[in-house]
């Protein structure tokens, strides 16, 4: 049997942002890792400009999608089905819009792939394919195999690679899907992560993303992991919360391990908006000092920002710009709020009849897709562009150039 794993990309700003802030996409690589031995694997990651091969000889085509890439994924799925292929859809958007996805697929892979992907392939062989496959229990991360490096090699990701470290988050921020997708917060055994990073170093990988939705949420684990990684002297980065700044022992261990950058969701200078999203643990008045502490350990701070919450009126753009200029993050990424289907934010907007469009390609952080509460749609659009323009001058904000490709057009 041969399977073809495709990460669909509509070339949106969001996809580029994800590609820029992470290594290889988790969905196709974790599914490749879970594929039974003896099954041939072909892979395409459209986020890095690879072209989908519609002449593939694969028996099963599995297409993975985030919301902004959904329409592109359906296009790919439909074309392969016309050719008589068995088509599977997976990824975040499939999980939260299964009825919509089902129209374009023979089967859906819902949630974590491990265990059910293997069952799905066995059913294809037996001719007993079911429409939906979903785990009933969280995957055991100690049973994960490393992402393959011989199908799409690390050179395609500028020698940056991703190692699965953890899944899930104990927080429940309203706009976020992590706690909806993963029932529990789990981590992989430290020795397995260390072994994989060591192997990647021998392969010539320069940067390793310690991939976890919240890398340091389990302090004991994070400390153990950082200490075990230190002898390898690799360049590492990951994503956690700004609260790490309150724990200098952990920060020192991270720095000694080789952590060079951490991505934090700082989101907004509006305490009311943070509280509205269940993220009041980010205290705007503390962020500047926290960032200074992190940078003291030689760790770059990448800050993620969102505009367009209900608590935001037209004053938020200047307020955010002033805040960004004050806190001295190394890089900042500013987006519009994306109400991903499945999130509490989407549910609330839908209840209130404020979703303007279900053209998923617009759910990319560069288009307004809902009626804002405290300003007009036009004010939100113009405001975010003003913010991008201003923040780029001061900080060379990477995301500005990424977004500009898409949004200046629209």
The site for ligand SF4 (CB under 6 A) is made up of 169, 171-173, 176, 178-179, 213-214, 241, 265, 279
Q: How far is the CB of 309 from ligand SF4 (least distance, A)?
A: 13
Question: Of 108 and 262, which has the nearer Cβ to ligand SF4?
Answer: 262
Question: Of 123 and 247, which has the nearer Cβ to ligand SF4?
Answer: 247
Q: How far is the CB of 322 from ligand SF4 (least distance, A)?
A: 23
Question: Of 176 and 262, which has the nearer Cβ to ligand SF4?
Answer: 176
Q: How far is the CB of 335 from ligand SF4 (least distance, A)?
A: 13
Question: Of 185 and 299, which has the nearer Cβ to ligand SF4?
Answer: 185
Lookup result for tokens 């599914």: 31
DSSP per position, 348-367: HHHHTT-B----GGGTTTTS
Q: How far is the CB of 274 from ligand SF4 (least distance, A)?
A: 10
Q: How far is the CB of 115 from ligand SF4 (least distance, A)?
A: 24
The rounded distance, in Å, linking the Cα atoms of 162 and 154 is: 9
Question: Of 85 and 312, which has the nearer Cβ to ligand SF4?
Answer: 312
* Cα dihedral sign, 343-346-351-352: positive
Q: Which helix (H) or strand (E) holds 255?
A: helix 248-257
Contacts of 276 (CB under 8 A, 6+ apart): 174, 309, 310, 311
Q: How far is the CB of 321 from ligand SF4 (least distance, A)?
A: 22
Q: Which long-range contacts (CB under 8 A, 24 or more apart) does 119-123 make?
A: 120/88, 121/1, 121/3, 121/35, 121/36, 121/39, 121/60
Q: How many CB atoms sit inside 10 A of residue 172's CB? A: 13
Question: Of 89 and 282, which has the nearer Cβ to ligand SF4?
Answer: 282
């Amino acid at each position: 049997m041969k399977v073809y794993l495709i990460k669909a990309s509509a070339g949106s700003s969001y996809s580029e942002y994800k590609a820029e802030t992470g290594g290889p996409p988790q969905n196709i690589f974790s599914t490749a890792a879970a594929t039974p031995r003896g099954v041939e694997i072909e892979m395409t990651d459209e986020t890095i400009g690879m072209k989908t091969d519609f002449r593939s000889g694969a028996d099963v085509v599995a297409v993975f999608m985030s919301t902004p890439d959904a329409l592109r994924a359906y296009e790919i799925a439909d074309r392969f089905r016309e050719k008589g292929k068995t088509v599977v859809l997976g990824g975040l958007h499939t999980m939260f819009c299964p009825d919509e996805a089902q129209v374009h697929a023979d089967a859906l892979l819902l949630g974590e792939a491990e265990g059910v992907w293997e069952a799905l392939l066995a059913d294809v062989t037996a001719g007993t394919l079911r429409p939906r496959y979903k785990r009933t229990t969280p995957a055991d991360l100690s049973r994960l195999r490393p992402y393959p490096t011989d199908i799409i090699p690390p050179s395609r990701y500028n020698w940056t690679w991703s190692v699965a470290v953890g899944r899930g988050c104990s927080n429940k921020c309203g706009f976020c899907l992590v706690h909806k997708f993963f029932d529990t917060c789990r981590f992989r055994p430290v020795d397995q992560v260390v072994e994989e990073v060591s192997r990647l170093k021998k392969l010539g990988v320069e940067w390793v993303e310690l991939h976890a939705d919240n890398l340091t949420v389990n302090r004991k684990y994070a400390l153990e992991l950082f200490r075990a990684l230190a002898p390898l002297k690799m360049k590492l980065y990951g994503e956690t919360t700004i609260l790490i700044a309150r724990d200098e022992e952990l920060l020192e261990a991270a720095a000694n391990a080789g952590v060079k950058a951490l991505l934090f969701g700082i989101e907004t200078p509006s305490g009311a908006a943070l509280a509205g999203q269940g993220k009041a643990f980010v205290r705007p008045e503390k962020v500047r000092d926290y960032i200074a502490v992190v940078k003291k350990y030689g760790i770059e701070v990448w800050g993620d920002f969102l505009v367009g919450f209900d608590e935001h009126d037209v004053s938020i753009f200047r307020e955010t710009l002033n805040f960004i200029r004050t806190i001295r993050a190394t890089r900042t990424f500013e987006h519009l709020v994306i109400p991903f289907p499945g999130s509490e934010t989407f549910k609330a907007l839908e209840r209130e009849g404020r979703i303007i469009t279900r053209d998923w390609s617009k759910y990319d952080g560069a288009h307004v897709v809902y009626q804002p509460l405290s300003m007009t749609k036009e004010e939100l659009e113009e405001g975010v562009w003003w913010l991008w323009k201003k923040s780029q001058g001061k900080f060379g904000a990477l995301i500005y150039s990424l977004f500009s490709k898409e949004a200046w057009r629209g």
